[in-house]
Amino acid sequence: MKRLLTLAALVIANWNLSTAHCQFPFRDTTLSVEARVNDLISRLTLDEKLAFLEHQNPAIERLGIKPYSWWNEALHGVARNGIATVYPMPIALAATFNSMLVNDVYAFVATEAVRKHRESLADGKYGDYTGLTFFTPNINIFRDPRWGRGMETFGEDPYLTATMGLAAVDGLQGNGRLDDDKGRADTPLMAAACLKHLAVHSGPEGVRHQFDSRVSNRDLWTSYLPAFEYIIKNSNVQQVMCGYNRLNGEPCCTNRHLLTDILRNQWHYDGIVVTDCWALNDCWEPDTVIPRHRTHPTAAAAAAAAFGSEVDLECGSGLAALKTAVDSGYIAEQKIDKHLRRVLRTRFLIAPDKFDTLFESSNSEMAFQAASESMVLLKNNGVLPLRKLNRIAVLGPNAADSAMALGNYNGTPEHQVTILQGLNNLLKIMDTPADEFVTGNPFSSIYFDTACHLVDRNYQLPRNFWKEVTQCDAIVFCGGISPALEGEELQVDMPGFHKGDRTMIELPETQRDMIKALRKQTKKPIILVLCTGSAIALEEVVDDVDAIMVAWYGGQEMGDAVATALTGLTNNFGRLPVTFYRATSQLPDFEDYSMKGRTYRYMDEKPLFAFGDGLSYSKFSYSDIAFDRETMTLSATLKMDGIMPGCQYPEGKEVVQVYLSSPSVDGSPRSQLVAAESYVLGMDSEPNPYRISIKIDPFWLRHYDETSDIMIPPAPGTQFTLEIKGGGKVTFTY
């Protein structure tokens, strides 16, 4: 295959070497990483060592070391560094329930990141957003749909978050993509990933710099920590970021119980712990602009507590405080060397020249595939797929909004497709279809109008609006919310939205009113395309629409993905990674971090749409379910029984979801996801039916033990039930 980088690219990967300095042993790539790290540490002064523990590493000219910034973002594509592919937001990627796809997406991101890193260094740029160390992925549990940053996560479920997070880490770092990758500690990396935010971090955004997340030990171990633990134990993830919030009274970045007792001693994690950016300032800085923790008297005291609690790297500007802490005897130089060893090890491991270009398709094709598989069809009374219509109305505030599709922490795409553009694109290509199974145009023309704003009521309908819409055969209403309303610490304060969070989860009233007016005035079929980063309560409009498709914030190819899904040119829908509640009234208090009443695992009431829900244009059935206790393998026969008229895609995707229940175990969830795999079958392709086989990882059978305050395996004789969603149950004894 074509090489991604030449061997000379080692120059740009970490150190930007010069010939004059090549005699130092730390330059010698034939030596072990440990030997190289030891050599470099022996050559550094104390001040130079300290400088490596802040995210903006300065140049050390006498050793030929160029500057380097640890801060880069790759949440769903390379961010904040010019032109880059924008993939769907992580909440949308989670909806695919396809960890292999997520792994490929992040491998594409890493490949693009290496190219952009090389370009930055060639231009003499060494600042933030130019390196190959990424503060990605966000694996916090999306416990409450009001949290504005929930779109950055992989949803509300520990298993789904863990498996998607692991796929993201392995994709970014290149894990398993080298022929000689044996899981060694010195295996080269394409880039370095970071698990964030440890731990129990999910709003409110407006008070996050002073907020104290109070949780029981049971909730901590069974909901908030499993994804971190699972990924740490199943990967060589290089970084873990501690959160802004306090955990049971102590700031996460100075929390010895969290960082020392759990992360280091129980999980044996020996990678980098990095602070969230300027998080240490919250420990000591006065409340001049925003409320803060103020748990430490001085910056030096906060630095001493953080680096004494296993923090290795500060994202921020606290170098002076760290030096004061060392000079005052709060931290020994030996401790500094321990932190520095971890930091340098990762920098030496990043060697993208070792990786070939492994991907045949383009970034745009991968972005389209990801967006296509993320669409979730929640309702369909037969109006979809759209076929053989004369004219459709494309309405709604998100139909032509390009910024909405990009989410947050995003790059700038070279091109992108809005929903309106995607539907218009079909008009241009359907007359000469490229695929043999495409049989004609689903509609002949489009009428477009915004129809209403996202929230406010100031939109003026054009004079001929109702006449035009009434003459259409179907209405595609593109509503929901946008990243301008939900996100990280936004300066937004309006009814239903505050500081990036939501105070109500209902579809905004102006949109509800427009949908009801469309139903009353036109009597035409209405398809609601919901653009969002979180769950939206739809009970007030669910009976007024004929179909509902959740499109999330789907990235640069979102428009084409929506268009092909609506018209049956694709048939690979995803499933909900979060619960869609009926109303805000079903939610506990936002600041209450107890899991009681939250998410599908613990809620008492029935939601409007449950976690894991989603329809297809295909019909599947299960039979002959069995479980092998010795190999922990669940098997079943999966059959595709049919496909809806008008669907032009010859295959269908079924997401096999396996849920575990154990009523005899005190405090266990009502049920919890323990396995999920996607299968694609066709009516006329072999094999159909297909015998599926899914292994259950014993990690997800553990339960919390009050006495030892840890997760333990089930006792012999414990009864469990495994249920395939929509496919039957099997009971076994452990």
Domain architecture of the chain: domains with CATH? 7-354 (3.20.20.300), 363-602 (3.40.50.1700), 618-733 (2.60.40.10)
Q: Kindly report the CA angle at 187 between 181 and 193, in degrees rounded to 5?
A: 105
DSSP bridge pairs for 704: 711
Alpha-carbon distance 614 to 98, whole Å? 14
pLDDT band with cut points at 50, 70 and 90 for residue 610: very high
pLDDT at position 677 is 96
pLDDT band with cut points at 50, 70 and 90 for residue 13: very low
pLDDT band with cut points at 50, 70 and 90 for residue 289: confident
**DSSP string of 258-318, one letter each residue:** IIIIIIIIIT---SEEEEPTTTTHHHHS-SSSS-----SSSHHHHHHHHHHTT--BBSSS-
pLDDT band with cut points at 50, 70 and 90 for residue 579: very high
Residue 373: in which H helix or E strand, if any?
helix 363-374
DSSP bridge pairs for 693: 635
pLDDT tens readout for residues 415-465: 999 999 999 999 876 555 445 445 567 889 999 999 999 999 999 999 999
Residue given tokens 């074509």 in the structure block: 2
Alpha-carbon distance 282 to 208, whole Å? 10
Q: Is the pLDDT of residue 11 over 50?
A: no
Cα torsion 333, 334, 336, 342 to 10°: value is 160
Do residues 241 and 195 lie in contact, with contact meaning Cβ atoms separated by under 8 Å? yes
709 torsion bin: left (phi>0), alpha (psi -120 to 50), beta (else): left
Q: Is the pLDDT of residue 493 over 50?
A: yes
pLDDT at position 61 is 94
Alpha-carbon distance 481 to 470, whole Å? 26
Burial letters for 562-582: b for 16+ Cβ neighbours within 10 Å, e otherwise?
bbbbbbbbbbbbbbbbbbbbb
Catalytic residue of the set 112, 310, 486, 677: 486
Query: In whole angstroms, what separates CA 68 from the centre of its chain?
Result: 26
Do residues 545 and 527 lie in contact, with contact meaning Cβ atoms separated by under 8 Å? yes
pLDDT at position 356 is 67
Do residues 261 and 290 lie in contact, with contact meaning Cβ atoms separated by under 8 Å? no
486 is catalytic: yes
Tokens of 70: 């640890």
Q: Is the dihedral of CA 691, 692, 698, 701 positive or negative?
A: negative
Strand 618-628 relative to strand 272-275, pairing: unpaired
DSSP, collapsed to helix, strand or coil, labels residue 554 as coil
Q: Would you give the DSSP letter of residue 149?
A: G
As a whole number, the mean pLDDT across the chain is: 93
Alpha-carbon distance 201 to 219, whole Å? 13
pLDDT at position 685 is 77
pLDDT at position 436 is 46
pLDDT at position 362 is 80
pLDDT tens readout for residues 58-91: 999 999 999 999 999 999 999 999 999 999 999 9
pLDDT band with cut points at 50, 70 and 90 for residue 180: low
Residue 518: in which H helix or E strand, if any?
helix 509-522
pLDDT tens readout for residues 518-531: 999 999 999 999 99
pLDDT band with cut points at 50, 70 and 90 for residue 22: low
pLDDT at position 60 is 96
152 is catalytic: no
Q: Is the pLDDT of residue 3 over 60?
A: no
Average pLDDT over residues 369-378: 98
Do residues 609 and 233 lie in contact, with contact meaning Cβ atoms separated by under 8 Å? no
Catalytic residue of the set 48, 170, 276, 557: 276
Tokens of 567: 């018209």
Average pLDDT over residues 252-256: 97
Do residues 49 and 203 lie in contact, with contact meaning Cβ atoms separated by under 8 Å? no
pLDDT tens readout for residues 47-60: 999 999 999 999 99
Q: Is the pLDDT of residue 393 over 60?
A: yes
Q: Is the pLDDT of residue 18 over 60?
A: no
Q: Is the pLDDT of residue 317 over 70?
A: yes
Query: In whole angstroms, what separates CA 492 from the centre of its chain?
Result: 23
pLDDT tens readout for residues 527-547: 999 999 999 999 999 999 999
Cα atoms in the Cβ-side hemisphere of radius 13 Å centred on 410: 25
pTM of the full structure: 0.95
Q: Is the pLDDT of residue 280 over 70?
A: yes
